[in-house]
Amino acid sequence: MTSRSGTADQPLDGAASVLVLARGSSDAEREGCAGFLTEQGASESKAICVTVSESPDSRLSLWQQHLDDEMPEEAIIIDAGSELPANSQAAASGAFPSLTLDTLPETVEPIDIGVCVSRHLGRLEQADAPLLLCLHSLTELLESWERDRVIALVTTLNRQCADMGVSSHHHMDPEAHTEETVEMFRPLYDVVYEYLPDHGWTVTASKDADETPTFRDTVTPPGGVRKGDPEEPETIPIPYSFDQVLELLSAPRRRSLLYHLKDRSEHEVPLEELVDRVYEREKAIPARATPKSRDEVGVSLAHNHLPRLDDLGILAYETETNTVEYYPNPALESVIKYVERLELG
């Protein structure tokens, strides 16, 4: 990644996704959020804000304080867990030309947030106006759900925003997380804006596409090239470092899935068959906890592990046809084989 100094209201050109690292509820965080809206021309835009712990009124009041007369042409506030009253004094004030409050149920899951955002983006896609998205915040999401599930939500939203030309920014309080967690999220964004008390805002841009890490330069798998492998196999670039790939393999069910996929002779497989094979593998591993049911395995694959592997380019998961196409990658498979040998003998 490359860095340069800047201010929070000067995003880099072409950045569809921005990670805002600043202490939660600080003046810097609040001004930075409003700065993104101002820079994108809020008064001519349609904005969606997802709030997880702060009330809708709190987010709307922030806009009123910092945007003056630059209120979005249309605003949508998605309350994804504040459990606060849905009625809004800010909404009743008439300061917003058009305002929608969408309150999700207390039992909300990350996938529900993604579906809700997608629904609103789809409705606004035909509008002749810039679209903006604010997610506040990743910190609250990570307090309620596993990191993998939050990462799956982030990658899904970022990919959709990139495809639709939406300018999005997600908030995270770096003081509330380990350095490892913060480093896990940085590569998921085009740009990272980080507020350092002694230096102000620091802008960090992702590497150019041709510098994306791949497994092309890893060593030959133990035992040499497998029979049938091409001499220079095509590799699948993934936006993660080697350390993060080890994190990817740390989930037992995802390991079982990858163990099976690398051994298949046919690379396209129906989801139902894949669920059966992973369920059978998990039951056969003595050191593993027995899965609760086949349905439980199916849900976790469909809503967690397969979408994440799809986002990494390791496979393609087609939800409409419920099929999975695995992309063989000999270098990645050498890592999977080694881990499998350590775990299963």
Q: Which CATH architecture has domain 2-206?
A: 3-Layer(aba) Sandwich (3.40)
The predicted structure's pLDDT at residue 11: 47
The predicted structure's pLDDT at residue 87: 61
- Would the pLDDT of 176 be above 90? yes
- Would the pLDDT of 344 be above 90? no
Q: Do 211-344 and 2-206 fall under one CATH topology?
A: no
Number of neighbours of residue 321 by Cβ within 10 angstroms: 9
Local confidence band at 43 (pLDDT 50, 70, 90 cut-offs): low
- Would the pLDDT of 244 be above 70? no
Mean pLDDT across the stretch 230-237? 47
Q: Residue 185 to residues 32, 63, 177, 182, 244: CA-CA distances in angstroms?
A: 19, 26, 11, 5, 10
Is 72 or 237 the better-scoring residue by pLDDT? 72
pTM above 0.85, yes or no: no
Mean pLDDT across the stretch 15-40? 83
- Would the pLDDT of 276 be above 80? yes
Environment class of residue 320 by beta-carbon count within 10 Å: exposed (0-12), middle (13-18) or buried (19+)?
A: exposed
- Would the pLDDT of 76 be above 80? yes
The predicted structure's pLDDT at residue 242: 64
d(CA 138, CA 22): 12
Q: Where are the domains of the chain?
A: 2-206, 211-344
- Would the pLDDT of 101 be above 60? yes
- Would the pLDDT of 137 be above 90? yes
Mean pLDDT across the stretch 22-36? 85
Return the percentage of the chain with pLDDT > 70, whole number. 75
- The sheet with strand 17-21 has its strands ordered as 2-5, 200-205, 191-196, 17-21, 167-172, 131-136, 46-51, 74-79, 99-103
Q: Which fold has domain 211-344?
A: Arc Repressor Mutant, subunit A (1.10.10)
- Would the pLDDT of 29 be above 60? yes
